[in-house]
Structure 1
Amino acid sequence: MTNPLIVIAAIVGAHGVRGEAKLRAFGDAANVASYGPFLDKDGKAILTPKTARSSGGEAVIVSFKEPVTREQIMAMKGTLLHVPRSALPEPDEDEFYYTDLIGMHAEHMDGSPAGRVKAVHDFGAGDILELTGPDGALFIPFTREAVPVVEIAKSRLVINPPEAINADDEGVEG
């Protein structure tokens, strides 16, 4: 496997007038500044974090080694910040980085092919795996019940999709 880039944060705005930024961390906010320089999607260094502290909310306030102004930070609002996968700690058992799941082969409980993992989505109610396969797109909740087997080393997972809900059975008129 190559060393893919992982998005760990996004710039959501400036903080104060001394070139600090508010970041939305996608993962461990306390360690967002400890993984080395922030890179763009092509691997080019953008900024090097110096310190990070909690904002008291969901944001993290980060200062940088490079001299940057409030205006420069505001111009970067929305920028995704990447680091190499190798800079991150290995996940605990039963935890996965999205990038490790992308491209994995999926099969049904009976061993029949279900496709490949195209993407992992988080719309706020839990992770969803998007599979592409012989029957087109399939969206599976990423839970132990729906995905009982994940074998990163074999690039394989087994799915047990929940049964489809028929709108008429729920009293919803269509």
Structure 2
Amino acid sequence: MTARICVARIGAAHGLRGEVRLWTFTEDPMSVTRYGPLSTKDGARQLEVARARAAKDHLVATLTGVTTREEAERLNGVELYVAREKLPATDEGEFYHADLIGLAAVDAAGTRLGTVAAIHNFGAGDIIEIAPPQGATLMLPFTDAVVPTVDIAGGRVVIEMPGEIEGEEPDSV
């Protein structure tokens, strides 16, 4: 299956004619109107952004085939995906978060810590989730200090564990 990247999430209905609030995860929020049909996570449904306009921190969008408030309400929370190859190429040193999923996570000495399971953002910045071979996953801030090296070609990210970062004191209990 082709790699897909989440480019937007549908929010609450807006108005009575099927418009929705749309939160985009793209550098240019309006680019979601140029990708053609977007699919749901399971690929079962395709939706196309017919029109969109900027609002305070999101877009207000009309989706093809969604004409009533009730239809729009049923889409609240749905994530929209696009095939990776439809997105612009990245520059040197840039990457899409989806490119990191599955890469090996190693420490500065090269010891394997696990695999990158996900990149999250709960509102205060990106979090990298590392799945170790055994035990609970690690959730770490995705900052240059914690993740100083991303080597997609080499299939790895280097993780500096908190407390090992130069000048940082470990949390005491």
Same fold (TM over 0.5): yes
Instruction: Please identify, of 75-84 and 130-139, the stretch whose mean Cα deviation from structure 2 is larger.
Output: 130-139
What is the identity percentage for the equivalent residue pairs of Structure 1 and Structure 2? Answer: 40
The answer for the alignment partner of 2:147 in structure 1 is 147
The letter of the residue matching 2:172 is A
Q: Offset at 1:126? A: 1.8
Conserved in 2, the CA contact under 8 Å of 1:23 and 1:59?
yes
CA 1:166/1:135 → structure 2, altered by over 3 Å: closer, same or farther?
A: farther
Distance in 2, matches of 1:107 and 1:156, equals: 7
Conserved in 1, the CA contact under 8 Å of 2:66 and 2:72?
no
Distance in 2, matches of 1:54 and 1:27, equals: 14
CA 1:26/1:50 → structure 2, altered by over 3 Å: closer, same or farther?
A: same
The letter of the residue matching 2:54 is S
Q: Deviations over 1:6-57 (max 9, x none)?
A: 22112112223332221111233121221111211122343211222101x1
Q: Which runs of 4+ in 1 moved over 6 A?
A: none
The answer for the alignment partner of 1:23 in structure 2 is 22
The letter of the residue matching 1:156 is R
The answer for the alignment partner of 2:73 in structure 1 is 74
The letter of the residue matching 1:23 is L
The answer for the alignment partner of 1:130 in structure 2 is 129
The letter of the residue matching 1:165 is P
Q: Offset at 1:67? A: 5.2
The letter of the residue matching 1:123 is F
Q: What is the TM-score normalised by the length of structure 2?
A: 0.83
Unaligned runs of 5+ in 2: 164-168
The answer for the alignment partner of 2:120 in structure 1 is 121
Unaligned runs of 5+ in 1: 169-174
Distance in 2, matches of 1:95 and 1:17, equals: 41
Bigger helix share: 1
The secondary structure found in structure 2 opposite 1:167 is: coil
Q: What is the TM-score normalised by the length of structure 1?
A: 0.83
Which structure 2 residues correspond to residues 90-129 of structure 1 after superposition, within 5 A? Answer: 90-129=89-128
Conserved in 1, the CA contact under 8 Å of 2:146 and 2:160?
yes
Distance in 2, matches of 1:126 and 1:94, equals: 19
Conserved in 2, the CA contact under 8 Å of 1:32 and 1:52?
no
Distance in 2, matches of 1:122 and 1:54, equals: 22
Q: Offset at 1:134? A: 4.8
Conserved in 1, the CA contact under 8 Å of 2:128 and 2:141?
yes
1:46 aligns with 2:46: yes
The secondary structure found in structure 1 opposite 2:36 is: coil
Distance in 2, matches of 1:17 and 1:105, equals: 48
Conserved in 1, the CA contact under 8 Å of 2:116 and 2:128?
yes
Q: Offset at 1:135? A: 6.5
The letter of the residue matching 1:167 is S
